[in-house]
Amino acid sequence: MITGKYPSLRLRRTRKENWSRKLFEENTLSSSDFILPIFLMDGKNKKEEILSMPDVYRYSINRIAQIVDKAIENKIPMVALFPKINNKLKNDKGTEALNHNNLVCKGILEIKKKYKNQIGIMCDVALDPYTSHGHDGLLKSNVILNDETIELLIKQSILQAQMGCDVIAPSDMMDGRIGKIRKALDQNGYQNILLLSYAAKYASSFYGPFRDAIGSKKLLKGDKKTYQMDFKNTNEALREVALDIKEGADMVMVKPGMPYLDIIKSVKEKFKIPVFVYQVSGEYSLLANAIKNKIINENAIYESLMAFKRAGASAIISYYADRLNKIIK
């Protein structure tokens, strides 16, 4: 309720000094809001630049400690693992996803061995890092098969759970997978594994650098519009979220982030459940390059991240999560 009016009422009074601005802050950011994505690669002692993502690297398993140590020191609650596997291991069915000795499995084991429960691990469930066509599901005569894909996603989820993954995050957008994966996890004794559904995941041009990072960009046949959402739609996102909650999702993701703040807010207001947001690779690279070229200054990062909190996000996946001490001052 606004009472009074100008000239007796002046909102600038609250903004007058640093200390007064502090008292009127409505949102805050801290390291506990963040999830750090880590790209994994084969080999030993490797730390490789990703050309389309300034200051983001791929790490071989024996160098993960370098980044996880820092994440724990900076009080980041969770990391998310993404593999760039050798192209020779990719095929049309993405069978490497079910290999007990694949990069993600090795990554989980390495982190859990060293850090136990000091930090959470989240893993994507989807086939795109493993398929020769770059799609998240099985492809047959140009159609992504829904139910057949889910059978593989169930196996992928169980495998990751067996390895010690804490949060299973299906990012594939097949219909009905959340319920089926929850059921399979429960039947296998994994009742306490969290399920984070990428529920409102849009078919977006902002994923480009990520696909480059996991080596699927050049392979991708066509686009992902038959399973990821149309960016013209809002109600459809609410339906997706409603279904995933019913099927047993513990929390839901909105992705990308900054162009979809309206969706974060609507989902939060309507469902009152934890909403995670992914500041995706394209958003990251836009910011990073504009800052590098001195088009905008680095405070833009903090501003972009605070926008997620303002919109109602509980947690933020961001490639900046390894540099928060410079961002949150």
Angle between helices 103-115 and 64-73 (to 10 degrees): 50
CA distances from 168 to 79, 100, 105, 155, 241 (A): 12, 16, 13, 12, 16
Three-class secondary structure of residue 140 per DSSP: strand
Check 84, 180, 224, 255 and give the catalytic one.
255
Q: In the chain, where do the E strands start and end?
A: 34-41, 47-49, 57-60, 78-84, 120-125, 138-140, 143-145, 167-170, 194-201, 251-255, 275-278, 315-317
Cβ closest to ligand PBG, residue 124 vs residue 240: 124
**Site of tokens 């850090």:** 115
At its nearest, how many Å lie between ligand PBG and the CB of residue 284?
A: 7
The first and second tokens of residue 61, run together, are 């398993």
Cβ closest to ligand PBG, residue 136 vs residue 322: 136
At its nearest, how many Å lie between ligand PBG and the CB of residue 62?
A: 24
Cβ closest to ligand PBG, residue 92 vs residue 269: 92
Around Cβ 218, how many Cβ atoms within 10 Å? 9
Cβ closest to ligand PBG, residue 57 vs residue 115: 57
Residue partners of 8: CB distance under 8 A and separation at least 6: none
Cβ closest to ligand PBG, residue 115 vs residue 122: 122
Identify the helix (H) or strand (E) that includes residue 167.
strand 167-170
Three-class secondary structure of residue 200 per DSSP: strand
At its nearest, how many Å lie between ligand PBG and the CB of residue 21?
A: 33
Select the residue whose beta carbon is closest to ligand PBG and give its number: 210
Using an 8 Å Cβ cutoff, are 323 and 37 in contact?
A: no
At its nearest, how many Å lie between ligand PBG and the CB of residue 31?
A: 20
Three-class secondary structure of residue 211 per DSSP: helix
The whole-angstrom separation of Cα 107 and Cα 36 is 14
Q: Is 255 noted as a catalytic residue in this protein?
A: yes
At its nearest, how many Å lie between ligand PBG and the CB of residue 100?
A: 21
The whole-angstrom separation of Cα 105 and Cα 179 is 23
Using an 8 Å Cβ cutoff, are 95 and 136 in contact?
A: no
Cβ closest to ligand PBG, residue 115 vs residue 215: 215
Q: Kindly list the residues in this chain that would bind ligand PBG in the complex (CB under 6 A).
A: 124, 126, 128, 136, 171, 207, 210-211, 224, 280-281
Q: Is 294 noted as a catalytic residue in this protein?
A: no
At its nearest, how many Å lie between ligand PBG and the CB of residue 53?
A: 9
**What are the residue numbers of the active site?**
201, 255
